[in-house]
Amino acid sequence: MKNIRRTLKFTGAGILILLLLFVGLVFFPFKRIAFPQKDYEVLIIENISVIDVKGDSLIQRQNIIITNDIIELITSEPVNKQMFSRRRIKIIDGTNRFLLPALWDMHVHLTKRSPDAAYPAFIQHGITHVRDMRGAYNERDPFAGVQSDLRNWNKRVNNYDLLGPRLHGYTSFAIDGPGEMFNGLPDFFNCRTPGEAIQLVNYFREKGVSLIKVYNNIPRDAFITLVKEARKFGIAVAGHKPVRVSTVEAADAGIKSLEHARFFIWDSYRGADSLIAASPGLKINTRLRLRMLHEHDTGLLKQNFDALKKNNTWYCPTHLTRKDEAYADDDNYRARYDSINPILRFLSFEDLDAIVQEDTSALGRKVFMDFYIKGLEISGQASGCGVKILAGSDVPELPGSSLQEELMELAKAGLTPYEVLRTATLYPAQYYGLDSIYGSVEKNKKADLIILSANPLLSIENTKTISGVIFDGKYLDEVVISYLKDKVADRSRSIVMTVKLLWDMIIYMTL
């Protein structure tokens, strides 16, 4: 009896110690990763090949002078360094290297943990700008960006206190029409009616939201009202095309961008009208996907392209999301998640397993593959028809590297190297009306640049060969990039990160 009491007492003490250790790790702060100190006033890049994404040309043997954070001069003439005798200069040898505007990822999902690992990972991969595509439902939501946190992170990035990309705008939580939401949220958050749509826009306007994220199940009248009301206040609407709204209607209403290539497949087959008219409970299954592929109508697809062009609606295909579905049961493909944090790996595999379980038949798997391939084909056709494409990864588990993979998917879709590069440089800058500042390598533009050691015009995969990143004129060389790579990998897989993510899962389940 005494031994049992002693064992119980020891077990209780052990549990208490483990709980205290767990809580301690949850609140243990990671050491911040800041931009390196700049000990020069003028940055000179010599003898580098400049990729002109506006003029579709490669301009060789150029010399670039960057003063503070601005490109002051681009010239083929040798730079007279005596001009800067009274100023501190740093010289970069650009021989056999290639200069490109820094990259934008236009479909990311930031979380409470993003500054600790995802932010430096973005910079490591040459991404200095992002568009976050879902905000938090409330201050306790750990798996989306809480606006107060996002504002603080942006302020710290702008002050060079936090190494990471600039976030452009603040996005709402996902609006998905009638259905269950988290407990205690107002009914109008569902956006079931035009009246609720107006309430929702007013709510977001007061919160300082600049982008409303929409999902599949918003009723047609509520969606049209939401977009038109939001535009009155300069608030953009972007996201999924609601199933009960046609692509033409969505573009005509003024949606700013449509995400995921599958909406074109849904809306360009001969039964598309019946899908739009179907009840909200309709599920997209193998049989319906097969019909969409067999009854694909190029005339209807062309009408959708024309609607996007006429209304200046952007298209962000996120092909990696369909690739996940196509290769969900492929062990070699799933291995891409082996090196990430075990909690994120578990969540990723859970999503992949759910896709496989939806239809385990050979036909089901083939149709997912065909859908993915059809999406690539459509993106190539969209680009050829003049639809402007934005590169977005939508893979939060693999920040940075997933955008480079998405660029390779766009190349696979048939876009030329220049067209691919524009989707992650010039076009995002145009989307935000910032192309006079960012998006191309030009005099008087911001010095947000990446240096590659191999030519991306020969292979888009060469966007992975980053040997330098320049953020606001601050140069991160190969040593810094290598350090970031190791630091991010170690931190992402650490026991501290694992405990924090486990805690986030517990909190999320209580919302």
Assigned domain for 508 exists: no
**Which residues touch 103 (CB under 8 Å, ≥6 apart)?**
125, 126, 127, 128, 129, 391, 403, 424, 425, 450, 463
CA 20/CA 66 separation, integer angstroms? 51
**Same domain, yes or no: 179 and 90:** no
| Residue 454 burial (CB count, 10 A) | 17
Please check whether residues 141 and 278 belong to one and the same domain. yes
Single out the residue of 392, 367, 366, 394 nearest to residue 379, CA to CA.
392
Answer yes or no: is 5 within a domain.
Answer: no
Which of 98-126 are b and which e, b meaning 16 or more Cβ less than 10 Å from the residue's Cβ? bbbbbbbbbbbbbbbbbbbbbbbbbbbbb
Helical axes 319-326 vs 401-412, angle rounded to 10°? 90
Residue 181: its pLDDT value, please?
66
Q: Which residue has the tokens 């986030």?
A: 504
In a domain, 482, yes or no: yes
Using alpha carbons, select from 88, 162, 94, 179 the residue that is nearest to residue 122. 162
In this structure, the answer to whether residues 90 and 131 fall within a common structural domain is no
DSSP string, 211-246: EEEE-TT--HHHHHHHHHHHHHTT-EEEEPPPTTS-
- Ordered per-residue pLDDT tens for the chain, 511 residues: 556 555 545 576 778 787 888 888 888 899 999 999 899 999 999 999 999 999 999 999 999 999 999 999 999 999 988 788 778 999 999 999 999 999 999 999 999 999 999 999 999 999 999 999 999 988 888 999 999 999 999 999 999 999 999 999 999 999 998 876 666 778 899 899 999 999 999 999 999 999 999 999 999 999 999 999 999 999 999 999 999 999 999 999 999 999 999 999 999 999 999 888 877 767 889 999 999 999 999 999 999 999 999 999 999 999 999 999 999 999 999 999 999 999 999 999 999 999 999 999 999 999 999 999 999 999 999 999 999 999 999 999 999 999 999 999 999 999 999 999 999 999 999 999 999 999 999 999 999 999 999 999 999 999 999 999 999 999 999 999 999 999 999 999 999 999 999 999 998 888 7
Q: How many angstroms separate the Cα of 233 from the Cα of each of 147, 157, 227, 237, 438?
A: 19, 28, 10, 11, 25
Kindly state the tokens that stand for 210: 């600049």
Q: Return the SS3 of 449.
A: strand
Say if 254 falls within a structural domain. Answer: yes
**Residue 240, C-beta contacts closer than 8 angstroms, at least 6 positions apart:** 214, 215, 216, 258, 259, 260, 263
* pTM, two decimal places: 0.95
Euclidean distance between CA atoms 246 and 306, whole angstroms = 13
The answer on 383 and 239 residing in a single domain is yes
The CATH number linked to 64 is: 2.30.40.10
What's the CA gap between 28 and 151, in Å, rounded?
22
- CATH code at 399? 3.20.20.140
In 3D space, the residue among 327, 480, 461, 458 whose CA is nearest the CA of residue 401 turns out to be 461
Given a contact cutoff of 8 angstroms between Cβ atoms, the answer to whether 438 and 445 are in contact is: yes
The tokens of 248 are what? Answer: 């033409």
Residues 366 and 472 occupy one common structural domain:
no
HEC secondary structure over 133-156: CCECCCCCCCCCECHHHHHHHHHH
Domain termination residue (choose one: 431, 449, 472): 431
pLDDT of residue 6: 54
Nearest in space to 482 (alpha carbons), one of 462, 467, 460, 497? 467
Q: Are residues 303 and 368 in the same domain?
A: yes
Q: Is residue 319 part of a domain?
A: yes
Q: Which two tokens stand for residue 60?
A: 């060789």
Same domain, 367 and 281: yes
In terms of phi and psi (left: phi > 0; alpha: psi -120 to 50; beta: otherwise), the region of 394 is left
Same domain, 112 and 56: no
For residue 471, give Cα distances in angstroms to 38, 122, 160.
11, 12, 10
Whether residues 203 and 347 share a domain: the answer is: yes
What is the pLDDT, as a whole number, of residue 183?
A: 67
Placement of tokens 């966007």 in the chain = 463
Burial bucket for residue 308 (CB in 10 Å: 0-12, 13-18, 19+): buried
What gap in Å lies between CA 54 and CA 418, rounded to an integer? 8
Residue 152 belongs to what domain range? 103-431
Rounded to an integer, what distance in angstroms lies between the CA atom of residue 317 and that of residue 260?
Answer: 4
35 occurs within a structural domain: no
Q: What is the pLDDT of residue 140?
A: 83
Q: How many domains does the chain have?
A: 2
Q: How far apart are CA 353 and CA 130, in angstroms?
A: 29
In a domain, 345, yes or no: yes
Cβ atoms 59, 72 nearer than 8 A: no
State CA 247 to chain mean position distance: 22
CB 405 within 8 A of CB 464: no
- List the one residue out of 53, 58, 127, 129 whose CA is nearest residue 431: 129
In a domain, 363, yes or no: yes
| Domain co-membership, 303 together with 417 | yes
> Is residue 223 located within the same domain as residue 125?
yes
Cβ pair 71, 64 in contact under 8 A:
yes
Nearest of 75, 69, 62 to residue 40 by alpha carbon: 69
361 and 299 in one domain?
yes
Q: What is the pLDDT of residue 360?
A: 95
